[in-house]
Amino acid sequence: MRVDSRARGLALLVLISAALGWLERRPPAWLEADPLSRPFGLAVGEDRLAGLDSILFPPPVPAPEPQIIDPNLASPEQWIALPGIGPVTAAHIETWLQSGRRFRRAEDLEQVHGIGPVRLDKLRPWLRFPVAPVDSSSVHGLAP
């Protein structure tokens, strides 16, 4: 009789376990997803890059509008905004100016590496050279 009661007890335990789902061992939900059909747990048809287009492919930034500059005072960014001048040429201009030299006329720019007659012709409309102040003491031979 003991065997019968054990068998009944085991059968009852199996029925209760099956009813409660304990016998069915399922893997965690994150393991159920097929990584090939649902990468990163996304549903079929979902784009994992949705919303990233504006970050990955930002709209083009318009080039700065060229401005008339004083070549001796212009920043590298102002030089780069001019036609035919890129970062390398702007760096050459900056180095040339840091050596203590100054541009007195447009032709002086041809001394900078990378600026020749053709590029200088493109730059001329954007260059303004300050007029040197007249020393009033030298007018008509007057001494201070």
Domains of the chain: 2-41 (no CATH), 76-126 (1.10.150.320)
Confidence of residue 7 (pLDDT cuts 50, 70, 90): confident
Contacts with 1 (C-beta within 8 Å, 6 or more apart), sequence order: none
pLDDT of amino acid 96: 94
Residue 127 φ then ψ, to 5°: -105, 135
CA distance linking residue 124 with residue 121, whole number of Å? 5
Task: Yes or no: say if 114 and 88 are a contact pair by the CB < 8 Å rule.
Answer: yes
Contacts with 65 (C-beta within 8 Å, 6 or more apart), sequence order: 81
pLDDT in tens, 24-33: 566 666 666 5
pLDDT in tens, 40-58: 555 555 566 666 667 777 7
Question: Bridge-partner residues for 127, per DSSP?
Answer: 69
pLDDT of amino acid 115: 95
pLDDT in tens, 80-127: 999 999 999 999 999 999 999 999 999 999 999 999 999 999 999 999
Task: Yes or no: say if 17 and 9 are a contact pair by the CB < 8 Å rule.
Answer: no
This prediction's pTM: 0.50
